[in-house]
Homo-oligomer: A and B are copies of this chain.
Amino acid sequence: MSPADFPRIQSAPLSLDALIADGRDDCGALTIFAGTVRNHHDQRPVEYLVYTAHAPLADKMIREIEREVAARHRATVCRVVHRIGRLGIGESAILAVVRAPHRAEAFAALRAVVDAVKHRVPIWKEEFYSDGSSAFVTGCCIAEADDAGAASAPRHAHEHDHDHDHDHAH
């Protein structure tokens, strides 16, 4: 199976090798991002995470984001896979790979595709702590801004979000 055909939402451990198997002779730059499970969040010790997704919609949206980011940043290859299920500390939740002729585009596209997937794709992260409790990580509203009845301001539910990772471009 070509990397381009992979399901973007996977319950098995993610393989970087599989994702970069197809080299490109016309690309001088390869950038990779791996988002891995940290052993703490806001000073609370984390035991493991459980990711869930609306898999068909998430798969479709990730492919759309890949195409959109590749076109905008003139990247040749742009690819993201996200894992669901239970993940231990150090495991990869998300892998993103970009190939571009030059490095400036590869850096920009990598950052853009990871941010877009984190902010727009129906995936949820529940953290399980050492004391036995758990909590969903507060995230981004994906209802369209002009969808009557949906909260449009603030667009993101940030009240309890102290995750510095969660930095928006706006």
Contacts and interface: CB of A to CB of B under 8 A. Distances in A.
Interface of A: 23-40, 89-90, 101-104, 106-107, 110-111, 114, 163-165, 167
A27 B33 CA distance: 12
Contacts of A101: 38, 164
A106 B110 CA distance: 11
B29 A32 contact: no
Given A103-B114, A107-B107, 16 more contacts: A23-B90, A24-B90, A25-B39, A25-B89, A27-B38, A28-B36, A29-B34, A30-B32, A30-B35, A30-B36, A31-B34, A31-B110, A33-B103, A33-B107, A38-B101, A104-B167
A31 B103 CA distance: 13
A35 B32 CA distance: 12
A102 B38 CA distance: 10
A132 to B, nearest CB: 20
A94 to B, nearest CB: 10
A111 B167 CA distance: 18
Given A111-B107, A164-B102, A164-B104, A28 B32 contact: no
A115 B57 CA distance: 38
A33 B35 contact: no
Contacts of A38: 25-28, 101
Contacts of A106: 33
A32 B24 CA distance: 17
A163 B102 CA distance: 9
